[in-house]
Amino acid sequence: MIILDTHIWIWLITKHEKLTNKNLNLIEKYRHQGLGISMISCWEIAKLVEKNRLQFQYSVEKWLNYAMKYPDIKILDLTLPIILQSTSLEGFHQDPADQIIVATAMVYDCPLMTQDNKILKYPIVKII
């Protein structure tokens, strides 16, 4: 399984041009193992819609329900190990959603697909 950062998941579902061919090829390569999405990504998307930083043709609830049923998507619940790991990311920035996404990848021991420069600079998490 690979973990998709929130923006990668949005780009995949919306077929956004920012999702590179390299990303698409890697998603196809790992798809049969599962595409993990942290539940915090659902919250993050809802907050972006609430703040008018993201818009969909449908309500956020309808969009999330559709996106969560996308083939091979596995929604990963917040667990105590993930919460605890997210609070001990030495030298990592203070964005709680990013902390939980990185911790999710670490707890599941899966690579994370992201284009977030702050996460890309963090050497502890496996990035693909």
User: What is the per-residue pLDDT across 9-45, written as a single tens digit (0 to 9) for each?
Assistant: 999 999 999 999 999 999 999 999 999 999 999 999 9
Both tokens assigned to 79: 């667990």
Tell me whether residue 126 is in a domain.
Answer: no
For the chain, the distance separating the N- and C-terminal CA atoms, rounded to the nearest angstrom, is: 12
pLDDT at 94: 92
Please identify which residue in the block is written with the tokens 């105590």.
80
How confident is the model over 35-65, as pLDDT tens digits?
999 999 999 999 999 999 999 999 999 999 9
Which range marks the domain in which residue 19 is found? 2-120
Q: Is the pTM of this model over 0.85?
A: yes
Q: How far is residue 56's CA from residue 45's CA, in Å, rounded to a whole number?
A: 11
pLDDT at 78: 97
Tell me whether residue 125 is in a domain.
Answer: no
Q: What is the CATH number of the domain that holds 94?
A: 3.40.50.1010
